[in-house]
Structure 1
Amino acid sequence: MKVPSPAVRVRRRTAGRPTLATRVWNRVAVRLPASLTDRLPPVFSGRLHDARTATSVGRLLGAAIAVCFVTGLVSHYLQHPPAWALDVLPSRPSWGYRVSQGLHVASGIAAIPLLLVKLWTVYPRLFVWPPVRSVRHALERLSVAVLVGAAMFELFSGLLNTVQWYPWPFSFVPVHFAVAWLLVGALLLHLAVKWPEITAHWRRGAEATVVLSADGAGPDRRSLLLGLAAAVGAVTVTTVGQSFTPLKSLDLLAPRHPDHGPQGLPVNRTASAARVLPAATSAAWRLEVAGPRPFRLSLDELRALPQTEVELPIACVEGWSKNARWTGVRVRDLLERAGAPPGARLRVESLERSGAYRVMDMGSEYAHDPLTLLALGLNGQVLSADHGYPARIIAPNRPGVLQTKWVARMEVR
């Protein structure tokens, strides 16, 4: 069997109209020793590495990333609202954050097998020689490098966040948010560069002509896509139960189970971890409310006030959530007693000595909602220490990190 020359082998990798870079590379390759040309990247073929398969997987991956990005924006701006949005963020529907954050985590987890298969279908293109053939080709490769790096970082750092493991020196939230925009920008650039090919293979039927392997054998595209659908379904069904409680019996891989925790509710940060000492929550505890008519109340005095029971979900950024029955005093009643004007905001401070969410600002929409409570009880019982005894905030459509526990002071703003 005749072995093709180095130049012929290279031309097979750079089929089409040769560019200046291709011609230069061909001239160089002819003069390379056989020991080096034998190590040139192999020629990949087969229908599972063709553009049609990559486009089919890319559509699913793009949809998952789009859902993850939009719900991530919702999560970020609810946690860190800009000043202009503090009073306009809605408190209803009460389950809104639970649904959006559940979708955010579920779509991010589902995107992981999609991304891995997408990379597998296109990785032969990483071995195209010469590495850069034109300005357009250079732009394409740059967009791909940024896109792959940002996607890998976003999905896997988000996955580690669900288990609250942070093996990096930077703050997760701002970096994750910034790289999300980088990912979307790289994706848009990649789509713009590859749009002619994407549209061609998007419209082409499943029976389109593809490059087959040498013997025409091997697994087909449909088998790959069915296997991918099974993998995505498996990781989704075994993790989504942490927020979609009808599937909680299948919650095998998620780091939280909605029923596991004190008083039937999970806990992210315990009183011990927050260094809230028993002495701080003893009988000497007083709630301080600052405003035009400031006052202080003991726990017994708070319990003597009209009590309201509401059913609201607690939903955390890590993806778990569950409905619970909360009993306490309406925050708007405390604001009225303090002489707060209509539309006043509220600042809440915790007994916790440190932490990014020790102090929480609440816009007027939440502060005056009748479902927002200074809760004293949970599911018919007095709050446990890990759930915020002696008092905590519970409000509709809010991230769990803003449902401040171990409340010590409230200030009308």
Structure 2
Amino acid sequence: MSAAWLAAAWVIVGAVAGLGPRRLRRATALTAPVLLIALSLLTAQGGPRPDQLGGGAVALPREAAGLLSAAGAALWLCLLLAEELDGRELVGIGTVGGAAVLLLSAGTPLLFGVAALLGAAALTLRWVTAAPSRATLAAGRIAGTGAAALVAAGVLLPAVSPDSQPGVVGGLLVVGVIAITALVPLGGWAAGALVDLRPPEIAVWLLVLAPAVLVSAFSIPGALPLLASLAFEHTLLACGLISAMWGGVMSLRSGQSTRYGRVALADLGLVAAGAGTGEPVAIGGGLVLILTHLVAAPLLLQRPRPGLGSPRRLVWLALCGLPPSPAFWGRFLVLQACVAFSGAVGAACVVAGGLVTVAVVITVARGEPGAGLPAPHHRVAAGWVLAAVALVVGLLPTAAIHLVFGPTA
């Protein structure tokens, strides 16, 4: 199966599962992600990460297939743990997932931008339909503007030369990346959306679209002229570090219901900062952080309930940034990249990671009293599975990365 057919399969499976008979929607919602995981793995092709802006055939490398498969598994667990589920969430998952397939396998800059635009449009439509509010409208406006900037960069890039203001293209690309991944100064929409939307709706951005854009960001500078590459990397580095520090501060100030979202936004900032350093070690750090949140988000996006306290505490520990938590390895590798870039950048990375660590340790120490009826047994079991996976990733980070993203990751 080609990458184009896989993208179509995500859209079709999501539409069929989400728009089918109402009495079957929950069952199909829990079945469809399993099919999408299998199709993603079957479509994987060997070789390194493609150069989305350098031209070439559309192909889904092993690393991208692993990301899509892990995201599919995380979405399945998120749907399983959700207290409210009507099945229509699969429409958004399918359309955004299809766009992510094209984004990760794009062989031309224009296709890369169009895929991002399709993903942002699908996400906006689903969010505004599910929870119309100023926050979701702002999300659509800002993410859509960022995707349009990527399309414009895709149109201009083939004609760029060292004498034709390549910094403009670098600027357009970085605006697109920071807008879609909710980095400062274009990230205010994410905090509001995290409050207004239900966990399955948030997960389609946090676990599919944002990771796909950030993984692609690591390969963008190599296809640009020197000035455009420097403009892209340095701006992304600055915005990523500021986002990480701001997310750390807000995770200390936020309440229990929104703390995980702030921690996730801080780590997205660190992944972006790693990409901005241009250091190869940052790729491993970014993948570890992405995998950590693919494990943590399905449980921590849900509200606390009796019976889930212990697994939630263990998953929170996976984010604390102390060894041997998986977040420690991810942030440590990003720190290595930042220190290699400059001492001041490394110091800023330490501050950002330290703020998040303090917020998570406080959460674990205080606990999260659950409200309502005890969680059903299948949700408790799913919570313990996630806690066990988080422990394995922390103890064997290299093996986990190679298993999910391939031996070349």
Same fold (TM over 0.5): no
- Choose between structure 1 and 2: higher helix proportion: 2
- Structure label with greater radius of gyration: 1
> Normalised by the size of structure 1, how large is the TM-score?
0.25
Relative contact order (alpha carbons < 8 A, sep ≥ 6): 1 or 2 greater? 1
> Normalised by the size of structure 2, how large is the TM-score?
0.25
